[in-house]
Amino acid sequence: MSRWIAKVSRPQPTVPLVVGLMVLWTAALPAAEPTAAAAPITLASLLGDLIDVDSIARWPSPAYSCRQASSYDRAKIAPDKPGWFANNDNTNFLRTDSIDGRTEQVMLDEPGPGTLVRFWLTAGGGKKGVLRIYLDGATEPSLTFRAFDLMQGDLDLPPPLLQPHPGYSPTGGGNNLWLPIPYAKHCKVTWEERSAGQRYYQINYRTYPPATSVETFTRAALDAARDRLGAVRRQLESPPGFTPGTIRSLNESIPPGGRVTLELPPGPAAVRGLELRLTPALEADPERALRSVIVRMAFDGGETVWCPAPDFFGTAIGINELRSFFRTVGRDGTMSCRWPMPYEKSARITLENLGDQAVGITLHATVSPWRWDESSMHFHTAWHQQSGLTTPPPSDWNFLRLTGRGVYVGDSLALFNPVATWYGEGDEKIFVDGEAFPSHLGTGTEDYYGYSYAPQGIIQTPFGGQVRIDEPMTQGWNVMSRTRHLDAIPFHTSLDFDLELIAWKPTDLTSAATTHWYAFPGVTTNRAPLPDQAVLPIPTLAGAKAAALAKIRRKPGARECESLEFVASSGDFRVFAQEMSPWDATRWSGGEHLTVMARQKGDFVELAVPADDDKPRRLLLDLTKAPDFGTLAFAVNGVASAATFDAWAVEVEPGGTIDLGTFSPRDGRFLVRAEVTGANPRSAGARFFFGLDCLVIEPAP
- Distance, in Å, from the CA atom of 262 to the CA atom of 247, rounded to the nearest integer, reads 11
Give the chain's length: 701
Q: Which of 629, 99, 45, 18 is nearest to 334 (CA)?
A: 18
Q: Which of 378, 403, 643 is nearest to 523 (CA)?
A: 403
- Whether the ω angle into residue 160 lies within 30 degrees of 0, i.e. cis, is yes
- Distance, in Å, from the CA atom of 476 to the CA atom of 467, rounded to the nearest integer, reads 13
Element (H, E) at 45: helix 43-50
**What's the distance, Cα to Cα, between the start and end of the chain in Å?**
50
Single-letter code of the amino acid located at 438: P
SS (H, E, C) 424-450: ECCCEEEEECCCCCCCEECCCHHHHCC
CB atoms within 10 A of CB 223: 10
- Distance, in Å, from the CA atom of 399 to the CA atom of 515, rounded to the nearest integer, reads 7
DSSP H helices in 62-131? none
- Distance, in Å, from the CA atom of 86 to the CA atom of 426, rounded to the nearest integer, reads 10
- Ranges under pLDDT 70 in the chain: 1-38, 166-173, 195-196, 242-243, 685-686
* Predicted structure pTM score: 0.82
- Distance, in Å, from the CA atom of 111 to the CA atom of 580, rounded to the nearest integer, reads 52
Residue-wise pLDDT tens digits, 34-47: 334 568 999 999 99
Single-letter code of the amino acid located at 261: T
Q: What is the pLDDT of residue 172?
A: 58
Residue-wise pLDDT tens digits, 265-309: 999 999 999 988 888 888 778 999 999 999 999 999 999 999 999
**DSSP state letters, 167-194:** -SSTT-EEEEE---EEESSEEEEEEE-S
428-432 and 335-337 beta bridge pairing: unpaired
Query: Strand ranges (DSSP E) for 245-346?
Result: 246-254, 259-263, 269-280, 293-299, 302-308, 322-323, 327-329, 335-337, 341-343
Say which DSSP state 543 is in.
Answer: H
Q: What is the pLDDT of residue 37?
A: 54
Torsion of CA 608, 612, 617, 620, to 10 degrees: -50
Q: Which of 65, 64, 69 is nearest to 188 (CA)?
A: 69
DSSP lists the bridge partners of residue 181 as 116
**DSSP state letters, 329-361:** E-TTSBEEE---EEESS-EEEEEEE-SSS-EEE
Element (H, E) at 477: strand 476-483
Say which DSSP state 287 is in.
Answer: H
Q: What is the pLDDT of residue 457?
A: 85
Q: What is the pLDDT of residue 551?
A: 81
Query: Strand ranges (DSSP E) for 520-663?
Result: 524-525, 558-560, 565-569, 575-579, 592-596, 604-610, 617-625, 630-636, 639-646, 653-663
CB-CB contact of 124 with 197 (8 Å):
yes
Longest CA span, the chain:
100
- Which CATH class name applies to 552-699? mainly beta
Residue-wise pLDDT tens digits, 645-675: 999 999 899 999 999 999 999 999 999 999 9
- Distance, in Å, from the CA atom of 289 to the CA atom of 642, rounded to the nearest integer, reads 63
Single-letter code of the amino acid located at 427: D
Nearest 5°: phi and psi at 17? -90, -10
